[in-house]
Amino acid sequence: MTSDFKEAGDPIVLVGTTRAELGGSEYLRLRKAGGGAVPTVDPSSLRVSLDHLRSAIENGTVAACHDLSHGGLAIAAAEMCLGGDLGADLKTTAMDPMRWDVQLFSESNGRWLVEVRKDRYEEFGHLMEGIPATYLGTGRGRMKRSDIRAGIVYIEGTNCEEESVAFFRHLGAQAEKVHLKQLTGDVPPTMKRTLDDFDLLMIPGGFAAGDYVRAGAIFAARLRSRLSKELTEFVQAGKPLFGVCNGFQVLVEAGLLPALGGTMTETPEAVLATNDSGHYECRPSYLRLENSGSCAFTRTLERGQVVTFISAHAEGKLLFPKERQAKVLKDLAENDQIVFRFVDGHGRPGSYPWNPSGTTDGLAALSNREGNVFGVQPHPERCFFRHLHPDWTRAKAEQPLYGDGKAIFDGALEYVERKF
- CA nearest neighbour of 53 among 41, 40, 66, 43: 66
Our answer to whether residue 387 is catalytic in this structure is no
Our answer to whether residue 379 is catalytic in this structure is yes
The catalytic residue among 65, 81, 160, 245 is 245
- CA nearest neighbour of 313 among 245, 365, 383: 245
Which residues, including other chains, have CB under 8 Å from residue 262's CB and lie 6 or more apart? none
Residues in the chain: 420
**Which residue type occupies 130?**
G
Q: Where are the alpha helices (DSSP H) in 85-216?
A: 100-105, 121-127, 161-170, 180-184
Which residues, including other chains, have CB under 8 Å from residue 49's CB and lie 6 or more apart? 15, 16, 110, 131
Phi, psi of 238 (to 5 degrees): 90, 5
Helix axes 217-236, 246-253, angle to 10 degrees: 70
Quick one: residue 309, left, alpha or beta (phi over 0 = left, psi -120 to 50 = alpha)?
beta
The catalytic residue among 21, 253, 315, 381 is 381
Our answer to whether residue 281 is catalytic in this structure is no
Degrees, nearest 5: CA angle 37-38-44: 115
The catalytic residue among 66, 115, 295, 379 is 379
- CA nearest neighbour of 269 among 337, 204, 371: 337
Instruction: Give CA–CA dist 194/196, Å, rounded.
Output: 5
> If you write DSSP's letter for every residue of 63-120 in order, what string do you get?
EEEEE--TTHHHHHHHHHHHHHT-EEEE--GGGTTS-HHHHHH---SS-EEEEEPGGG
- H or E, element range at 48: helix 43-58
Q: Which residues are catalytic?
A: 245, 379, 381
